[in-house]
Amino acid sequence: MQSLKNTFEDRIVLCDGAMGTVLYARGVFINRCYDELNLSDPSLILSIHEEYLQSGAEILETNTFGANRFRLARHGLASRTAEINEAGVRIARQAADHLKDKQAGDAWIAGSVGPLGVHLEPLGKTGLAEAREAFEEQISALAAAGADMLMIETMPALNEAQQALLAAKTIAPHLPAIVMITVDDDGNCLDGSSPAHAAALLTEWGADAIGCNCSTGPATVLTAIEAMRPITTLPLAAMPNAGMPRAVEGRNIYLCSPEYMASFARKAIKSGAQFVGGCCGTTPNHIRAMRSAIRAIDAQNRNEAREEITITGTAADRAAEESSEVPPAPLAERSRLGALIAQGTFVSLVEIVPPKGINCTKEIEGARLMASLGVHAINVPDSPRASARMSAQSLCIQIQQHTGIETVLHYTCRDRNVLSIQSDLLGASSIGLRNILCLTGDPPKLGNYPDATAVFDVDAIGLVNIVRRLNHGLDIGGNAIGASTNFTIGVAANPGVPDIEQELRRFAWKVEAGAEYAITQPVFDLRLLETFLRRVEEFRIPIIAGIWPLTSLRNAEFLRTDLRWSIPEAVMLRMAQAESPDAARAEGVRIAQEMLKEAKPMVQGVQVSAPFGRYALAAEVIASVLPPGSSYAAD
């Protein structure tokens, strides 16, 4: 492999600018698959490459940023992955050959490899091996078609950048690979990693050059490059967006002028960048201005302006410190509930749903009743069924402050992105919440605001991974946050779900991610519970059975039909035979007590719901497991 250093020596190299921006300006709608234009309109792509070359670009990126199987599948084009990538190289090569014929110049073709557009483990369902296979498929086609190098760009997370780089080293070790991260307003990768930490790891993993592209504009990219320079001796690449887009008469316009981008190029070179270019919003005009800026810097002045490249002990140590872990406390020391679980005590919990308004007096009194009876903890759902209610975190802290009983905070992924999730969890830990039940959450369409927007950056499995990392003193980017959050981590399980195989797979992933106990959906069919327990026995985490006292036949029908809970016909018949509302509630309590009695020898705890705020019903059901002497304890 010819190294980038040997190819370009120490001179500054100008790359091209955006492809999508120019395509959009030429009337190609954004709902099109821009990569597919390599096949359906190659002359259009060729003309854009030629414009960039005429503006002074020496490296052309192929029109293959999104040409991986995941992104192409959204357009029904996954089967044409190789064909689209090969065409991308062929068109760029044709443009470079035209330039060479006309100007006796040289241009290099960089196979563009963008992010897959899916969340990878531990935050998503796509495995690292699966991601690497997708990158290998794309890179194989780019290499076979004759690309001169690879441009692995706009990487939002270091684990994805690593898989792309591993694929490159496996499939095309002869091709130099430039790897660029993207950063947010705070100057960090979207997984929380700092540019310095990224530089240290990308260097260790074998990149030929590293850098930053896209992001929120020249200023943030420049800051990232300045942070990378002391960490690595590799060549650096800087290719920002032309600022943040602004909505102007219904269109997103990038407002950084060519002159501003030229000024950025001078500053980036002074900060140590060898490869400069542009990303979203940049056009041939921007690249032409950057070429003029580069020409104005002669070799002597450039060498004087560029800082000496040294790996300082302080910078290297700082990068290493960012990934230092702190061990969480033993489970028995994290919370009272954790201690009971660790000791093997049969635990009792009662679920109290937050109010729809700001007055939580009834809920606090319900928690006080449960505390007086000896219930171990109160479970607080997070806007169940996507309803608008007081925040679960607020009710948890108020219950703990007013009653002294510990709480379990249900936390869903529905309403928060990964930044908000980390912020919430850090805040919850700081105010004394120690028990988290990690849930994906009901979609908004089930609630009273069906048009509300869901987030779902991660699901319950990804959330468990986030909490486990926080317990080890790390954010999702592997950066140190200081002390452990010390959460006791719980998850949900559903023995009665129709697709039990998928439920078991997800349960296994949750345990692998760091779950320490599980709470089941309410149990009405003991056979399903027995089967589930037998199949998850290998995972060796405590299972807490959910118990729901039915209040009426209508309640049973709703749970069975609308929520798809598994309620046997015999239970439905018993509720139907109740002659009055009071009789129906009494029958619901008896059914729940029977479920609890039968389930108790099989599980390590029980969670009893208090439907519609009827805490007395919950107390009657849980009586058999309350401490002796309780007013509700069984004789």
The helix or strand, by DSSP H or E, that contains position 412, with its residue range, turns out to be strand 406-412
Read off the pLDDT band of 122 (50, 70, 90): confident
Q: Classify residue 540 by burial, with Cβ atoms within 10 Å: 0-12, 13-18, 19+.
A: exposed
Q: Are 91 and 45 in contact (CB under 8 A)?
A: yes
Q: Are 389 and 353 in contact (CB under 8 A)?
A: yes
Weakest mean pLDDT among 68-82, 273-287, 289-303, 415-429? 289-303
Count of Cβ atoms closer than 10 Å to residue 45 Cβ: 26
pLDDT at 444 over 80: no
pLDDT at 302 over 50: no
* The pLDDT value given to residue 492: 95
Q: Are 523 and 532 in contact (CB under 8 A)?
A: no
Weakest mean pLDDT among 152-156, 186-190, 249-253, 518-522? 249-253
pLDDT at 203 over 90: yes
Give the bridge partners for 348, in sequence order. 606
pTM: 0.70
pLDDT at 362 over 50: yes
User: Could you tell me the two tokens for 319?
Assistant: 């990068």
Distance between CA atoms of 543 and 519, rounded to whole angstroms? 6
User: Could you tell me the two tokens for 551?
Assistant: 């209040």
- Average pLDDT score over residue span 485-506: 92
Tens digits of per-residue pLDDT, 455-492? 777 888 889 989 998 999 988 767 788 899 999 999 99
- Residue predicted with more confidence, 60 or 217: 60
Distance between CA atoms of 620 and 89, rounded to whole angstroms? 72
| Domains within the chain, CATH numbers bracketed | 4-321 (3.20.20.330), 331-550+591-625 (3.20.20.220)
Which residues are known binding-site members for Zn(2+)? 214, 279-280
Distance between CA atoms of 390 and 271, rounded to whole angstroms? 50
Helix, coil or strand: residue 521: strand
Which amino acid, 164? A
Question: Which residues have C-beta within 8 Å of that of residue 48, sequence separation ≥ 6?
Answer: 19, 22, 23
- Average pLDDT score over residue span 212-220: 89
**CA dihedral (64, 16, 230, 207) positive or negative:** positive
Read off the pLDDT band of 415 (50, 70, 90): confident
* The pLDDT value given to residue 312: 47
Read off the pLDDT band of 424 (50, 70, 90): very high
Helix, coil or strand: residue 438: strand
Q: Are 167 and 68 in contact (CB under 8 A)?
A: no
- Average pLDDT score over residue span 45-51: 95
* The pLDDT value given to residue 4: 67
Distance between CA atoms of 595 and 602, rounded to whole angstroms? 11
pLDDT at 447 over 70: no
CA 36 to chain centre: 28
Tens digits of per-residue pLDDT, 553-597? 999 998 888 888 899 999 999 999 999 999 999 999 999 999 999
Q: Are 413 and 459 in contact (CB under 8 A)?
A: yes
Which residues are known binding-site members? 214, 279-280
Q: Are 553 and 578 in contact (CB under 8 A)?
A: yes
* The pLDDT value given to residue 154: 95
Distance between start and end Cα atoms, the chain: 81
Q: Are 422 and 470 in contact (CB under 8 A)?
A: yes
- Average pLDDT score over residue span 233-257: 73
Average pLDDT, the chain: 87
Question: Which residues have C-beta within 8 Å of that of residue 558, sequence separation ≥ 6?
Answer: none
Distance between CA atoms of 309 and 311, rounded to whole angstroms? 7
* The pLDDT value given to residue 628: 64
Give the bridge partners for 239, in sequence order. 213
pLDDT at 255 over 80: no
Read off the pLDDT band of 246 (50, 70, 90): low
* The pLDDT value given to residue 248: 45
